[in-house]
Amino acid sequence: MRAQAARRWRGTAVALSVLVLIAGGHTPATAQRQRASINEGWRFQRNDPPDSRVDLRYEVRPELKLRADGADFDAGGMEGAQPRDRAGILRPYILPSANPFIRDPARHHRRPAGNPGANVPYVAAGFDDRAWKPVTLTHDWAAAGPFIRKGPFGGMGRQPSWGVGWYRRKLDIPAADRGRSVFLDVDGAMSYAAVWINGRLAGGRL
């Protein structure tokens, strides 16, 4: 079996460790777990696809015009946003991934219909990412610079930490593991992380 995982981060992406946990068996007495690091073999690309008109924001944010260097920062949320402004954002699709941690079923989130990002080439299992930069996690794209030398936020060693970055990796899962539970464990990711597996939005993290 082969899974194709794609990740999109807003801001400098720092994935401290990415692990797969394969849990076998149906009872605690028979469960066998294997923990495998998949920090190597990733491909990285800055920005969304050219001419992409797909909105992959986590939530609605008010427009801000206070930053001369183009960096976005948190301010407000969806409160007061019009329904048309909420269409296509990722938050309603990502929140249900936290349901196993919510004890009261009445408070569980319900995922809307659809699959945001499905028409973005970068999430497709067959997308050719060989032109992307090979990286090993942990990875911080801001470390590549360049340093910002001018403007109100330059001159103090600031690096370009804002923006969008994509990471992709192929996961080869042995046929012998069919029927077992596979967990993709992300130890650390920068803000507004979202994960697609084989073109399907799997979840994310604010």
Express each pLDDT in 93-129 by its tens digit. Answer: 989 988 999 999 999 999 999 888 888 899 988 899 9
Q: Using an 8 Å Cβ cutoff, are 167 and 152 in contact?
A: no
Cβ partners under 8 Å of residue 105, min gap 6: none
Output the six-digit token pair for 68: 């001369």
Say yes or no to pLDDT of 19 above 70: no
Local confidence band at 4 (pLDDT 50, 70, 90 cut-offs): low
Q: Which residues have a Cβ under 8 Å from the Cβ of 12 and sit 6 or more positions away?
A: 140, 141, 142, 161, 162, 165, 190
- Determine the pLDDT at residue 54: 72
Domain coordinates in residue numbering, the chain: 2-205
Per-residue pLDDT, 99: 92
pTM attached to this predicted model: 0.75
With 0-12 / 13-18 / 19 or more C-beta atoms within 10 angstroms meaning exposed / middle / buried, residue 14 is middle
Question: What is the rounded distance in angstroms from the CA atom of residue 14 to the CA atom of residue 192?
Answer: 12
